[in-house]
Amino acid sequence: MALHLNLLHEEILEHRQRQRDPLKIGMMVLAGFGAFLFLYYMFNAYRTLEIKSRLRAVERNWTKIEPEVTAAHNRVAELEGVIKTTRALDNYIENRFFWAPFLQKVSRCVPPNTQLTSLEASVLDENKGVSVSLEGVAAGREPRSVAEDLRQMLIEQLGQGYSGVKVEFKTLEDLDAIVNVGGTNMPMAHYLLAVNFNPGPMAKSAASPSPDRTRKR
């Protein structure tokens, strides 16, 4: 075995110590880690820039389309408002009570020997019904029967177009006055009729058969 003499052992030891210097190793690790962090930051910055360019493109699109969208939005709101208002107005129009057909029915019910002196009618609030007060005089051998005929006739005629028809005498009294009808003197009666009904027609299932009316003359 050959004999080796190391005459520079101090220098070599110093060199090895320098190589294993923890401060130097630590600085190298730190630099490596720093480089990694920098690269990671750059990667993120690149992604951010890419997203920023996407955002710009989307913003450009939005800026281009926004006036049209705003106009369309306003138009939709306007049209919806028009549709709603028209619907509300149509509801109002359709829910009106038409007086002309009612007056026609009343005129059909009044026989020649009966006279209406006053008609007062009103639509109750929120279209809950119609209330009518009819006042007049009836003449005949039995004037009360003539008035009753009018009442029955009103029930029959109004029942054809309206529901919940109620016709009641509020007053029915004989008068002392005599009237000449067709050359014959006849006694008279004064009546006051209260009529109530709902404007809507009677439902078929709920409809009751019309009462038999026996006209007394």
Partner 1 sequence: MSPPKLTKDQVQKLAFSAIGFVFLLYVYFTFFLGPLNRSRAAMLVTIRDLQSKLDESKDEMKKAVSLEKQAITATSRFAALKALSPEGAPIAWFPPRLKTFFAQQQIDKAVAHLENSTAFKEAELSGWTKYNWLIDLPQADFASVGTAIAELENTEPLLSITRLHIQTLASQPQFQHVELAAASIIEKR
The residue ranges that bind partner 1 (CB under 8 A) are 17, 20-23, 26-27, 30, 33-34, 37, 40-41, 44-45, 47-48, 51-52, 54-55, 58-59, 61-62, 65-66, 68-69, 72-73, 75-76, 79-90, 92-93, 96-101, 103-104, 107, 115-123
Distances (CA, A) of 23 to 18, 192, 210: 10, 120, 115
Q: How far is the CB of 197 from partner 1 (least distance, A)?
A: 14
* Structure letter (DSSP) for residue 187: E
Q: What tokens appear for 185 in the block? A: 């003197």
| 35 within 8 A of 29, measured Cβ to Cβ | no
Distances (CA, A) of 137 to 158, 167, 177: 20, 16, 11
Q: How far is the CB of 130 from partner 1 (least distance, A)?
A: 10
Q: How far is the CB of 101 from partner 1 (least distance, A)?
A: 8
Q: How far is the CB of 196 from partner 1 (least distance, A)?
A: 15
Q: Left if phi > 0, otherwise alpha if psi is -120 to 50, otherwise beta: which for 127?
A: left
